[in-house]
Amino acid sequence: MFKQDRRSFLKSALFGATCLTPIGQFAFAQSSSLTDIGAAMGVVDQVTIYTAREIVTLDPDQPSASAVAVVNGRILGVGDVETLTEALADQPYEIDETFADKVIVPGFIAQHDHPVLAGLCMSSEILSIEDWVLPAGTVPAVKDKADFLTRLKSASEAIEDPDEPLLTWGYHSYFYGKLTREDLDGVSETRPIIVFARSCHEFTLNSVALEKGGVDEELLSGWSQSAQNQSNLEEGHFWEQGVFAILPSIAPLVFNPEKFVAGLELMRDYMHAKGVTFGNEPGGILSKDVQDMVNSVMSAPSMPFRWTFMADAKSLIAKYDDDATVISETEKLASWYGGMTSLAEGSAKLFADGAIYSLAMQLRDPLLDDQGHGGVWMMDEDKFLRGFQVYWDAGYQIHIHVNGDAGLDRVLNALEVNMRRNPRFDHRTVIVHFAVSDSDQIPRIKELGAIVSANPYYVRALSDKYGEVGLGPQRADSMVRLGDLEEAGIPYSLHSDMPMAPGDPLFLMWCAVNRVTFSGRVADADQRASREKALRGVTLDAAYSHRMEDELGSIQAGKRANMTILEENPLTVDAMKIKDIKVWGTVMEGTKLKVGYQAQEDAFLAPNISTEAQTRVARAALNHALSVVHSHL
């Protein structure tokens, strides 16, 4: 990543809309052409000028344009064709009119997604509560339990090998009712069937799967009491600690390396089809075997977007007692990546409270129907405070998973203590998810210099249900209060947490701008995001949240030439149609990549996993995925 002084140099060295600017040691006259400058530097590479119906730059000095000049993967200038070609003078260039009737916006950024978990879910039979619009077609939402069982039976009958396990993902008991072993035995008494719940924290197995996994009363008797309490062998149902307990027995049934790689490829193609040009996995993988398998897809030079992996500070703090070792081990992770993947250097992920999907967040006021359910803390307070201080003192940007207003109090208290103890300028501590908050916390977020990464899908999927149970109407409708953040001038980004929500930036914008629930009503209209802030949330402010705004997020001279190509302008189209805008594809560091292009299988780091190692890798992959999930449930 270029430093600010490098960025400033690039901006001054290049040109704006109308003229060149003389710079430093070169002392060129203002009338000098780019060719003269290039010749003096020994560089006269060919420039490509892309034209468009409209270019939304997110540059306040030049918010719109009709042409952008690109050279060697970076933006050389923005304006119109006449201005750009005049400035280029004799430097070779070509005009590319591929996008002449389209709208160019800054490249979309997947601020917070989970490739391993998405790979597992995308490689399964998807039968979920919502439509999944995939590159190969749309998988419609399940209507009810009967529809689920009918479609599951059809999927089973379509598999030729009678012994091949069938893994499905997406069932939700809140929507469809209880699912049992007996239900699944009705689908097949010969094929192992494993249902991975929509929340990803429950398994339901048929009798064949239990038998092949050796899961019986004797096995359960050796588990911890909490694992036994969260298991029902008769119904084939395992949740929370029961999921982790059963995992070693069923890992080979659930995790197929070939299918997992295919799932990663599907995730790659899916996200490119949604216009993504850069992404991040918060709480990266701490298994080298699994990371190598992920790299086999995501490190390839033909990967249509770059991806960074953030250190899992929660696990590292738990593993190492010495503070200096925590940081040194964090830094060592950089060697695990290459090609199109890299470590998100100087960033780390901590966890406060539990998740919104299971109402496990910590709240100031109890749930309406609280029967000893309560919230949970994902880290003991002493571990959390130690982790915050260790990474704070090392100069890291800290991203913190938090969903409840009491959880947010703990985060803000820790931030204030460390600011008073060891003040840091522009620390950009990130409040991640931001489900339930209170109005009095907004000015405190502002005063402490924190920023927010919000999931606007919570309102869409959960406000109706949680208005009836759990939170009540007021708290449920005011979830993800983006309107208050905008009024306070607090930067925020938007994320999907895929597969917790569809990894579609336009859909996230739509959720934020409209706040329309599953029932079709608007939940707390005052908390709707403006269009420009929502677009910034998946571009410039998403880059800002990763300290990469000098490289990504807007169409300005000197930045990477990452752009998303759309059929309509999300800032002017009917607000309810934002999610329906078609994506042509992307420009990735200067290269046009149309949706549906065939990526070459040219892995930067190919996996070499022996048959005997597959069970180990399966367990590691599932442990990582479930650890990610466990914080979101």
Residues 330, 248, single domain; the answer is no
CA distance 509 to 516: 12
Residues 85, 207, single domain; the answer is no
Determine if the pTM surpasses 0.85. Answer: yes
- Token pair, residue 555, equals 């169409």
pLDDT of 605 > 70? The answer is no
Residues 71, 128, single domain; the answer is no
Q: Exposure pattern of 146-178 as b/e (b: 16+ CB <10 Å)?
A: eebbebbeebbeeeeeeeebbbbbbbbeebbee
The CA-CA-CA angle for residues 213, 216, 222, to 5°, reads: 105
Mean pLDDT, rounded, of the chain: 89
CA distance 577 to 509: 11
Contact 566, 582 (CB under 8 A): yes
User: What Cα–Cα distance (Å) separates residue 66 from each residue in 11, 17, 29, 48, 80?
Assistant: 19, 11, 27, 14, 5
Band of residue 35 on the pLDDT scale cut at 50, 70, 90: low
- What is the pLDDT, as a whole number, of residue 507? 98
- Nearest residue to 80 (alpha-carbon basis) of 130, 143, 18, 159: 18
CA distance 20 to 277: 30
Contacting residues for 151 by C-beta, under 8 A, at least 6 apart: 127, 142
| Residue finishing a domain among 67, 101, 135 | 101
In a domain, 267, yes or no: no
User: What Cα–Cα distance (Å) separates residue 367 from each residue in 370, 403, 457, 515, 581?
Assistant: 5, 14, 21, 23, 38
Q: Tokens 């997406």 label which residue?
A: 170
Residues 128, 34, single domain; the answer is no
Residues 95, 142, single domain; the answer is no
Tell me the mean pLDDT in the region 405-411: 98
Whole domain around residue 290: which residue ranges? Answer: 273-554
Residues 249, 369, single domain; the answer is no
Stronger pLDDT, 193 or 500, i.e. the higher one: 193
In a domain, 53, yes or no: yes
CA distance 226 to 124: 29
DSSP strand pairing (64-71 vs 103-106): unpaired
pLDDT of 302 > 50? The answer is yes
- What is the pLDDT, as a whole number, of residue 135? 85
Q: Which residue type occupies 574? A: D
Cα torsion angle, 290, 296, 297, 302, sign: positive
Q: Tokens 């009798």 label which residue?
A: 207
- Nearest residue to 172 (alpha-carbon basis) of 192, 206, 144, 194: 144
pLDDT of 8 > 50? The answer is no
Q: What whole-number percentage of the chain has pLDDT above 70?
A: 87
Band of residue 22 on the pLDDT scale cut at 50, 70, 90: very low
Residues 157, 241, single domain; the answer is yes
Tell me the mean pLDDT in the region 429-453: 98
pLDDT of 7 > 60? The answer is no
Residues 245, 311, single domain; the answer is no
pLDDT of 626 > 80? The answer is no
Q: Domains in the chain: how many in total? A: 3
CA distance 430 to 378: 17
- What is the pLDDT, as a whole number, of residue 202? 87
In a domain, 579, yes or no: no
In a domain, 409, yes or no: yes
pLDDT tens digits along 148-161? 999 999 999 999 99
Tell me the mean pLDDT in the region 217-240: 92
Residues 79, 135, single domain; the answer is no
- What is the pLDDT, as a whole number, of residue 50? 99
| Residue finishing a domain among 255, 286, 314 | 255
CA distance 259 to 265: 10
Residues 206, 288, single domain; the answer is no
Q: Tokens 């060719």 label which residue?
A: 35
Residues 96, 145, single domain; the answer is no
- Tell me the helix, strand and coil percentages in the chain, rounded to 5: 40, 20, 40
Contact 272, 305 (CB under 8 A): yes
In a domain, 31, yes or no: yes
- What is the pLDDT, as a whole number, of residue 26? 24
CA distance 347 to 325: 16
In a domain, 583, yes or no: no
In a domain, 627, yes or no: no
Residues 250, 277, single domain; the answer is no
Q: Tokens 């249900």 label which residue?
A: 465
Tell me the mean pLDDT in the region 264-283: 95
CA distance 192 to 184: 9
- What is the pLDDT, as a whole number, of residue 628? 62
Tell me the mean pLDDT in the region 277-303: 91
* Beta strand extents in 313-441 (DSSP E only): 341-351, 397-402, 430-433
- Token pair, residue 20, equals 């060149």
CATH code, domain carrying 507: 3.20.20.140
Q: Which residue type occupies 63? A: P
In a domain, 266, yes or no: no
| Residue finishing a domain among 221, 255, 289 | 255
